[in-house]
A and B are shown apart, each in its own frame.
Chain A
Amino acid sequence: MAIETRSRKVFNICNLIILTILGIGFLLPYVMIVSASLTDEGEFLAHGYSILPRDITLSAYIKLFQGDLTVVRAFFNSVFLTVSGVILHVGTTTLAAYPLSKKKLVGGKVIMKVIIFSMLFSGGLIPTYMLIVNMGLKNSYLAILLPAMLAPWNCILIKNYFTTVSEALEEACKMDGGNNLTVFLRIYVPTSKSIIASVVLFTAVAFWNNWSAPILYFDSRHSDMLPLTAVLQQMLQENVNPSGGSVGSGFAENEKMATVVISTLPIIIAYPFMQKYFISGIMLGSVKE
């Protein structure tokens, strides 16, 4: 027994050491971007990047907020896209999840199959791109907001949650003369706050992080419409493609890294709130009856 507890102690300590090292590995990249954004340009040219900043200066941030305001504008574009995207997509998805949660819904199974099919197979990038161009949606935020309003995975999560809502409540509301929409708004949405909250957060993160569609659909004359991560993608091009002859972005390295930090910040701020919801939300969603 004594040997057992001793080996157990040794194991526990080793385990904690391994996980601590891994945890540092998970955290270090954030420290690196913050350090790089706080490093003075001259210092950077002399010594390169460092894990911890040698000298702290806010000059990169000040420049971003005083210069041509590309980054500030992009930040507000991102906020606009994220807010309108969340309202449209979560609204549509939740609305669709309600009828699909009804077992008796005629045709419900077929519709569910179509939704799952759409998740696995689509028209492909070039045909979709051509359609957007033909519809006159190029250089419009609608090109990003209108497609895929019904998010299959989120829809399944909400639908599964809806099936657990008590039918007695629903009957009572219907007795009082409520129709489907009032039942949905008065009973289902309030009792499913936690799962809807996690879908809101997932959707918000997806919109905040969306850069490939904006870059594809906005041409160079409309680059002032780009959201933050898209602007960042273009800033970093010359770094990841050093010999590709790509045009320099005109941003110093510390300004680029300050932009990286600015685009990470909202996610980090929202993360504790997300955590509260996503674990319970995902578990509930995946545990089907």
Chain B
Amino acid sequence: MDTLMEKKKKHNKKVYVKNNFGLYLMLVPGLLSMIIFTFVPMYGFYMAFVNYSPSVPLFQSEYVGGLWFSLMFEDPLLWKMVRNTLVISSMKIFIMFPLTIVLALLINEVEVRLFKRVFQSVSYLPNFISWIIISGMMIILLDSDNGILNQLILAFGGKPVSWYSDPSKWYVILLLTNMWKNIGWGTIVYIAGFSAIDTQLYEAAKIDGASRLRQAWCITLPAISPIISITLILTVGKIFQDDFEQIYALVGENDILSETTAVISTKIYQYASTGRYDQFPISTAMGLVQGVVSFVLIALSNMTAKKLGYESLW
């Protein structure tokens, strides 16, 4: 019986595919682009295992096994880049993440409708602004001779700072610019959560004489706690990803700042755009390790979210 059923199911599937061939054709352009430009390049990971030179075809290059990987782990630059990535991601988790929730709560408490709408518009806009444009804005602020910050420091009798050659300042600059661009947009998910809360709860709390703070603490926060946990889990999952666009736009190839701004993706881009073929194998190895580690972490964080009963990617 069972096999008959299975046979029938298989047959049904075949009929479905036959009758809906058009549906499959609609997938072709997108999948083709994905296969060619996302999956085919994966053969290039072989570069991390050979002695590469641009004059020799990749698969005829001399195989060197895990040489680049062992060299890579001895490279102090790698550890510096890993540290920078982890520090920058941690700042996002420990500072930006809670501040986003605080901002969402403050927006939620605004009773003047027009003010609320204007503030939301103004705070979402930076999400659409390119990091290159933000780089232009930062030059106006940070330029050592002409920048506004140094003019202010001088006006208050301080000593001007050469921002673009002082690495110690850049963790903070990266955090603040990231907040300017993304914190407003980050509040959207929470504000969507607020709108789903039953207003009767607040009415009841008011009758019981609960203060505004108490209402936020006892009604609003618990109501959005599922959103908070899933956002946190997903943010933690991205801890090993670095923000190429931000860092390369803001500091480019400025090596003086590399102590705090060097990350794997910008280094790889620098090698590729300047044609440093000698560096291709080791940076491919670095990219591969980073890619695998981030993938595993993101997959784990999604699985955790799913286990906890939240929506997840799969």
Instruction: Decide: A212 and B245 in contact? CB cutoff 8 A.
Output: yes
Instruction: Decide: A122 and B41 in contact? CB cutoff 8 A.
Output: yes
Q: Is A275 in contact with chain B by the CB < 8 A criterion?
A: yes
Q: Is A61 in contact with chain B by the CB < 8 A criterion?
A: no
Instruction: Decide: B37 and A205 in contact? CB cutoff 8 A.
Output: no
Instruction: Decide: B125 and A271 in contact? CB cutoff 8 A.
Output: yes
Contact of B119 among A19, A102, A232 (CB under 8 A): A19
Q: Is A140 in contact with chain B by the CB < 8 A criterion?
A: no
Instruction: Decide: A49 and B254 in contact? CB cutoff 8 A.
Output: no
Shortest C-beta distance, A59 to chain B (Å), equals 18
**Interface-side segment among A62-70, A108-116, A164-172, A192-200:** A108-116
Q: When A118-B34, A237-B252, A242-B165 are in contact, do A181 and B269 touch as well, CB less than 8 Å? A: no
Instruction: Decide: A96 and B31 in contact? CB cutoff 8 A.
Output: yes
Instruction: Decide: B26 and A240 in contact? CB cutoff 8 A.
Output: no
Q: Name the interface size band of chain A.
A: 35 or more
Q: Which residue in chain B gives the minimum CB-CB distance to A51?
A: B148
- Which B18-58 residues sit within 8 Å CB-CB of chain A? 20, 22-24, 26-27, 29-31, 33-34, 36-45, 47, 58
Q: When A23-B122, A33-B140 are in contact, do A240 and B135 touch as well, CB less than 8 Å? A: yes
- Complex Cα distance, B17 from A19, in Å, reads 56
Main secondary structure of the interface of B (DSSP, over half): helix
Shortest C-beta distance, A15 to chain B (Å), equals 6
Q: Is A190 in contact with chain B by the CB < 8 A criterion?
A: no
Q: Is A252 in contact with chain B by the CB < 8 A criterion?
A: no
Instruction: Decide: B33 and A149 in contact? CB cutoff 8 A.
Output: yes
1/0 per residue, CB under 8 A from A, across B293-314: the answer is 0110011000000000001011
- Which B245-274 residues sit within 8 Å CB-CB of chain A? 245, 248-256, 265, 268-269, 271-273
Q: Is A11 in contact with chain B by the CB < 8 A criterion?
A: yes
Q: Is B66 in contact with chain A by the CB < 8 A criterion?
A: no
- Complex Cα distance, B212 from A35, in Å, reads 41
Q: When A48-B146, A126-B284, A263-B133 are in contact, do A181 and B33 touch as well, CB less than 8 Å? A: no
Instruction: Decide: A120 and B37 in contact? CB cutoff 8 A.
Output: no
Instruction: Decide: A125 and B265 in contact? CB cutoff 8 A.
Output: yes
- Complex Cα distance, B34 from A288, in Å, reads 25
- Complex Cα distance, B119 from A116, in Å, reads 34
Q: Give every chain A residue within 8 A of B41 (Cβ-Cβ).
A: 122-124, 127-128, 130-131
Instruction: Decide: A4 and B211 in contact? CB cutoff 8 A.
Output: yes
Instruction: Decide: A180 and B20 in contact? CB cutoff 8 A.
Output: yes
Instruction: Decide: A99 and B27 in contact? CB cutoff 8 A.
Output: yes
Instruction: Decide: A131 and B44 in contact? CB cutoff 8 A.
Output: yes
Q: Is B287 in contact with chain A by the CB < 8 A criterion?
A: yes
Q: Is A36 in contact with chain B by the CB < 8 A criterion?
A: yes
Instruction: Decide: B128 and A271 in contact? CB cutoff 8 A.
Output: yes
- Complex Cα distance, B252 from A11, in Å, reads 44
Shortest C-beta distance, B9 to chain A (Å), equals 10
- Which A234-289 residues sit within 8 Å CB-CB of chain B? 236-237, 239-244, 246, 253, 256-257, 260, 263-264, 267-268, 271, 274-275, 279, 282-283, 286, 288
Instruction: Decide: B30 and A239 in contact? CB cutoff 8 A.
Output: no
- Which A84-129 residues sit within 8 Å CB-CB of chain B? 92-93, 95-96, 98-100, 102, 104-106, 111-116, 118, 120-129
1/0 per residue, CB under 8 A from B, across A183-219: the answer is 0100000000000000000000100110110011000
Q: When A27-B122, A205-B128 are in contact, do A121 and B23 touch as well, CB less than 8 Å? A: no
- Complex Cα distance, B188 from A51, in Å, reads 30
Contact of B37 among A128, A179, A263, A286 (CB under 8 A): A128
Q: When A111-B31, A148-B34 are in contact, do A126 and B110 touch as well, CB less than 8 Å? A: no
Instruction: Decide: B31 and A116 in contact? CB cutoff 8 A.
Output: no
Q: Is B63 in contact with chain A by the CB < 8 A criterion?
A: no
Q: Give every chain A residue within 8 A of B253 (Cβ-Cβ).
A: 237, 241, 244, 246
Instruction: Decide: A241 and B164 in contact? CB cutoff 8 A.
Output: yes
1/0 per residue, CB under 8 A from A, across B228-242: the answer is 000000000000000
Shortest C-beta distance, B141 to chain A (Å), equals 7
Q: Is B209 in contact with chain A by the CB < 8 A criterion?
A: yes
Instruction: Decide: A243 and B256 in contact? CB cutoff 8 A.
Output: yes
Q: Is B204 in contact with chain A by the CB < 8 A criterion?
A: no
Instruction: Decide: B125 and A257 in contact? CB cutoff 8 A.
Output: no
Q: Is B184 in contact with chain A by the CB < 8 A criterion?
A: yes
Q: Give every chain B residue within 8 A of A288 (Cβ-Cβ).
A: 311
Shortest C-beta distance, A221 to chain B (Å), equals 14
1/0 per residue, CB under 8 A from A, across B111-151: the answer is 11001001101111110111111111111110111111001
Q: Chain B: residues with CB nearer than 8 A to chain A?
A: 13, 16-17, 20, 22-24, 26-27, 29-31, 33-34, 36-45, 47, 58, 103, 106-107, 109-112, 115, 118-119, 121-126, 128-141, 143-148, 151, 164-165, 180, 184, 188-189, 192, 209, 211-212, 244-245, 248-256, 265, 268-269, 271-273, 280, 283-284, 287-288, 291-292, 294-295, 298-299, 311, 313-314
Please list 17 pairs of residues, one from A and one from B, whose beta carbons are closer than 8 Å in the complex, sorted by A's number: A7-B211, A26-B184, A27-B122, A32-B137, A33-B137, A49-B140, A50-B148, A92-B33, A96-B27, A113-B314, A122-B41, A129-B272, A146-B36, A208-B130, A241-B254, A244-B252, A244-B254
- For the complex of A and B, 3 pairs with smallest distance between CB atoms: A127-B44, A123-B41, A150-B30
Given contacts A15-B110, A275-B124, 12 further A-B contacts (CB under 8 A): A15-B109, A26-B184, A51-B148, A92-B33, A118-B39, A131-B36, A131-B41, A229-B133, A232-B133, A233-B132, A236-B252, A279-B188
